[in-house]
Amino acid sequence: MMIGNLGGQLSVASKIAFDRGAKVTHFDTVEQALSALRAGRGADLIMAEYRLDLESLVIALDMERISVPVVACGVEADARGAAQAIKAGAREFIPLPPDPDMIAAVLEAVADDDRPMIASDEAMMRVVQLADQIAASEASVLITGESGVGKEVMARYVHKKSRRSTAPFISVNCAAIPENLLESELFGHEKGAFTGAVARRIGKFEEADGGTLLLDEISEMDARLQAKLLRAIQEREIDRVGGNKPIKVNIRILATSNRDLAQAVRDGIFREDLLYRLNVVNLRIPPLRDRIKDALTMAEYFVEKYSLANGFQKKILSDDAKVRISSHTWPGNVRELENAMHRAVLLSPDNVIGPDAIRQPDGLAPVAASTAALSATGNPVVDAATQSAQSVSQSMVGRTVADVEQGLILETLDHCLGNRTHAANILGISIRTLRNKLKAYSEAGIDVPAPGEIREAG
């Protein structure tokens, strides 16, 4: 959403944002924009001319419990004007005429709806296949997984595959919105419902009517709101804050969580009946360390994306860089991988990205292979296996990723005398993933050591 009239410069910014895939609405005044927000025309971001009364805008948003960030912009604004805009409550200041890369960066900070579903690894393909099976249904879906694995990307994928794909997809981050704002954000409110409620406000449930509502990080929702949400799901109707008349809604609910909700139920912080309502189908997205093929495919996608975004000729990953990517555990998952590939594009001196360009956020230390990242454990068997695995990594170039992975797993298992738990810890993968891989190797006729054994030389 853009507010103001800057002699065409805001229109230029609107066109850049539109070309980057954003949906843009434009209003001349703050009051017009507020009226649209109250009517349920939601926004992920407000870009407003800095000479407008931004302080009144921010205060109105706060008093009316409308959660949306404000970014100030202006032509030939001096440092004082920019500082005053920030003081008034704007998150950032953008000079105009607009820089396309800066507009793109702002859009990327508030939206994540242009990510393709990348699934080439068997572990992820099983999840996508399940999503395909249930997408056309009306079932509520709980999408779980570690932070950064791509839960919202999966939610958007389910929506696009559903019969509601042409209707709205509305996302609410339950962890990012304070409790006193979240109720109005979800259910809306009536005029006079509380101090500052100067007009009726349509909430996300009504905004999503006919489409899909994503409740992102639902584990962070307050217990009182959980009860109201449960009723909304059961009855397919909501009550605005301060309202006395229920409103029918036709939506499909998707929810995400990076926490174990079953444990949250046992801890008394999440309603068991709500969990049952949400968890009709569970799509559990594996961490990136358990889907190495996807890590490589995503890395190539991000390299191409950020080569284009930064005006470079398309760069490519060297074989050594691919080995580095496949051997890192990526504790931050896709989010960490994306940032690392963006840095690699910027830091590589030519069009071929080597392993030295894949660095930590400080731009100095390289990301570590999972084996190299481990310190001494005090266990001579485990430490010997770690050293051996490190030496194996030196001779990886020229081999396929699958071959490197198989060799690394079996060599590590040898030096752990077949101990699956120790080997999994060294490799940075789950014991379940290790057992599945070893089963596949055995079925292919490959000698896999049993606990307490090593493979026969040959």
Q: Do the domains 122-284 and 288-357 sit in the same CATH topology, yes or no?
A: no
d(CA 70, CA 47) in angstroms, rounded, equals 6
Give the sign of the dihedral formed by CA 350, CA 351, CA 354, CA 358: positive
> Which fold, 2-110?
Rossmann fold (3.40.50)
Instruction: Of 102-106, 223-227, 431-435, give the range with the top mean pLDDT.
Output: 223-227
pLDDT band at 92 (very low <50, low <70, confident <90, very high): confident
In this predicted structure, the answer to whether residue 120 has a pLDDT above a threshold of 50 is yes
Per-residue pLDDT, averaged over 74-80, amounts to 74
Q: Which helix (H) or strand (E) holds 287?
A: none
The more confident residue out of 96 and 31 is 31
The CATH superfamily assigned to 122-284 is P-loop containing nucleotide triphosphate hydrolases (3.40.50.300)
Q: Which residues contact 133 (CB under 8 A, 6 or more apart)?
A: none
For residue 6, the model assigns a pLDDT of: 56
304-310-311 Cα angle (round to 5): 90
Per-residue pLDDT, averaged over 172-180, amounts to 83
Instruction: Of 88-92, 320-324, 397-401, give the range with the top mean pLDDT.
Output: 320-324
Strand order in the sheet with 281-284: 169-173, 212-216, 252-257, 141-144, 281-284
pLDDT band at 68 (very low <50, low <70, confident <90, very high): confident
Rounded to a whole number of angstroms, the CA Rg of the chain reads 26
Range of weakest confidence among 24-28, 295-299, 393-397: 393-397
For residue 40, the model assigns a pLDDT of: 74
Q: Where are the domains of the chain?
A: 2-110, 122-284, 288-357, 380-443
Q: Which residues contact 34 (CB under 8 A, 6 or more apart)?
A: 57, 60, 61, 64, 66, 199
> Which fold, 288-357?
Helicase, Ruva Protein; domain 3 (1.10.8)
Distance between first and last Cα of the chain: 68
How many Cβ atoms sit within 10 Å of the Cβ of residue 244? Answer: 7
The more confident residue out of 375 and 293 is 293
The more confident residue out of 107 and 450 is 450
pLDDT band at 224 (very low <50, low <70, confident <90, very high): confident
Range of weakest confidence among 60-64, 214-218, 225-229: 60-64
Torsion region of 148: left, alpha or beta (phi above 0 gives left; psi -120 to 50 gives alpha): left
pLDDT band at 383 (very low <50, low <70, confident <90, very high): very low
For residue 311, the model assigns a pLDDT of: 82
The more confident residue out of 179 and 371 is 179
Indicate the average pLDDT of the chain: 82
Looking at domain 380-443, its CATH architecture is Orthogonal Bundle (1.10)
Torsion region of 368: left, alpha or beta (phi above 0 gives left; psi -120 to 50 gives alpha): beta
For residue 385, the model assigns a pLDDT of: 42
In this predicted structure, the answer to whether residue 101 has a pLDDT above a threshold of 70 is no
The more confident residue out of 385 and 407 is 407
Per-residue pLDDT, averaged over 181-188, amounts to 89
Range of weakest confidence among 262-266, 296-300, 414-418: 414-418
Cβ 341 vs Cβ 118: under 8 Å: no
Range of weakest confidence among 26-35, 238-247, 302-311, 444-453: 444-453
Q: Which of 93, 88, 42, 102 is nearest to 72 (CA)?
A: 93
How many Cβ atoms sit within 10 Å of the Cβ of residue 212? Answer: 23
